[in-house]
Structure 1
Amino acid sequence: MKSLKKTRRVQVLLITTVALVLSFALIFYAMGDGINFYRSPSEIAAEPPPPTETFRIGGLVEQGSLVRGQGETVSFRVTDGGATVPVRFTGVLPDLFGENQGMIGTGKLVDGTFIASEILAKHDEDYMPREVIDSLKEQGLYKEPPAGS
């Protein structure tokens, strides 16, 4: 009798484990290209991703680099203090987008230029995405805002 209970317990554990592994595999498969990895300009300079990979880049818009082209095309450079990556974006920029401001872009690196499909700018005076803050801290360019502000 004990042997039967032990066998059933092992079978239930195995079936549960297989079901969990299968569930996680299906979830990650369904997400597909929905997962975009964040990279700083220094990481891109050190190890450029393939042109087919969609990822996010973040940093500060370099002073004096913002150039408005024909129509809605905008070019600028994003930096983390260690490296700079040229960015080209066609579309409407957020209202708070500007030079020396934090930004995150989603897109692909093509021939050394980041072709952005989406640009996000900081949304208030103190906000900056955590990934950008961490990257700027590593470069020694970020200072914590005063407490209570």
Structure 2
Amino acid sequence: MKGLKKKRRVQVILLAAVALVISTGLIGYAMRDGINFFRSPTQIVAEPPAETETFRLGGLVEEGSIVRGQGEVVSFNVTDGGETVRVTYAGVLPDLFAENQGMIGTGRYVNGVFEASEILAKHDETYMPREVVDALKEQGVYQEPDGS
């Protein structure tokens, strides 16, 4: 009787381990398109990503770089103080999108231009995404907002 209980216990443990491995694999497979890595303009210029990779680009919108094209197409430059990347976006920009302000875009880097599918802008005067702050600090151009 003791041998049967031990055998059954080993079978249950093996079955649980197999179920855990399968569920982990399925979760990873389901999330593969939902994970977007953040990159600064300096990182993109130094090591350009594959054209098929979707990622997030963040930085400051360069002053005087916003160009409105036909319809809803807008192009502008994003900088982190070290490098600059050209961005194109077809859509309506957020109301708080402006020059010299922080932004994060999701999209792909194709032929030296970041083609954004989504643009996020700051939500108040002092907010800037953490990733953008870190990239600007790395370049030595981040300035603390006034506490007033």
Tell me the TM-score normalized by structure 2: 0.89
Q: Who is 1:118 aligned against?
A: 118
> Aligned residues, how many?
148
Q: Which amino acid aligns with 2:38?
A: Y
Q: Who is 1:133 aligned against?
A: 133
> Could you say what the CA RMSD is over the residues aligned between the two structures, in angstroms?
1.9
Deviates more, 1:17-26 or 1:117-126: 17-26
**SS of equivalent to 2:78:** strand
Q: Which amino acid aligns with 1:142?
A: Y
Alpha-carbon shift at residue 94 of structure 1 (Å): 0.3
In structure 2, relative to structure 1, the CA distance for the partners of 1:136 and 1:6 (3 Å cut) is: farther
Q: Who is 1:18 aligned against?
A: 18
Q: How does 1:41-52 map to 2 (within 5 A)?
A: 41-52=41-52
Aligned mates of 2:4, 2:133 — CA distance in 1: 58
Aligned mates of 1:42, 1:133 — CA distance in 2: 14
In structure 2, relative to structure 1, the CA distance for the partners of 1:105 and 1:6 (3 Å cut) is: same
**SS of equivalent to 1:30:** helix
Q: Who is 2:79 aligned against?
A: 79
Residues 47-86 of structure 1 show CA distances to partners (whole Å, capped at 9, x for unaligned) of: 1111111111001101111111122111110011111100
Aligned mates of 1:68, 1:3 — CA distance in 2: 77
- Identity %, equivalent residues: 73
Q: How does 1:29-40 map to 2 (within 5 A)?
A: 29-40=29-40
Q: Who is 2:96 aligned against?
A: 96
In structure 2, relative to structure 1, the CA distance for the partners of 1:14 and 1:69 (3 Å cut) is: same
In structure 2, relative to structure 1, the CA distance for the partners of 1:9 and 1:63 (3 Å cut) is: same
Identify unmatched segments of 5+ residues in structure 1: none
Alpha-carbon shift at residue 45 of structure 1 (Å): 0.6
Tell me the TM-score normalized by structure 1: 0.88
In structure 2, relative to structure 1, the CA distance for the partners of 1:56 and 1:4 (3 Å cut) is: same
Aligned mates of 2:127, 2:3 — CA distance in 1: 61
Alpha-carbon shift at residue 15 of structure 1 (Å): 2.5
